[in-house]
Structure 1
């Protein structure tokens, strides 16, 4: 499937077709890098001032190079969701359907657990602007699940729509019932979920 340009190129699109100056590109690259880190740590509610501070530029430079905060966040989230969908595409190319699904699930849940903003985006924030990317990701997960089921590697008594909810549940909050999770709690959760998803019987694949 076709993929849009990365976030920097997308933000540098100029209707005149002119090539941006090198300093302009460097500033946009710094803003995109800062936005990715800030979105991971703070979420989609991060401010333009915070992104500019992290990029080492003034807010005036931010708005000279970026049409708006919303445009920057949409470009960054779009790029990350493209990367997740690419992971799913590579998993679909794995000759072992269960191994491919497991590798994708690990990368997907890790990203959800480690990036506040991605969890928010996948949960519906910026949903209108990200609709094409989310649709691509839904289709990729559906294909991964159905491929694993067709190979009798994944239990057949679930709908593919169940799987995104289960993977989202693995990326737990860091506190519950007065307990505090360590930084790898998502891995424990995912192992249990994957064990529950595997087909049972003689043809059950290795963990």
Structure 2
């Protein structure tokens, strides 16, 4: 059963006890969105949700389904700190898997998204933590997010991450990713032209705001 959140006043701190079960991961994602929205930190929602999903999934897979755990969000004016406490002293899986390994991909994503991360031993187990810097420039945050997505996409289609820094390969990967998204939109009954028009409108609006 999903537990209620305890939110303390400034400095902002939210404590979310939960049981490590797949259905509760979605509950955690929703709780994180609601909390960050209340704190005026919507620009961090996507990254925070990805990190929370990875950390909670890691507990389910490597500590045990149904394990009692706690998610803690701490925020100040410059950064958001995400901590996930569990009852195991076992360190997270390797950050640098070989090409044959899949475990560790999520933690590599965590390292790419955060400015710092680590593991701290506690009296009953450990806490895996990471920090997200609050970037006021939305354009820069979107570019950083796109870079992470492109690197993950490159792994999926078999392109080494290092090659994605070369413009011709990057352009080809972007084209392939957009094509995949268009197929996904069509398969889900959505209008690709409408989505592209809305994205273009938001993009131009952002450029005008910067100018």
TM bracket, shorter-chain basis: under 0.3
TM-score w.r.t. length of structure 1: 0.27
- Higher relative helix content: 1
Q: Which has the higher contact order (CA 8 A, sep 6+)?
A: 1
- Higher relative strand content: 2
TM-score w.r.t. length of structure 2: 0.26
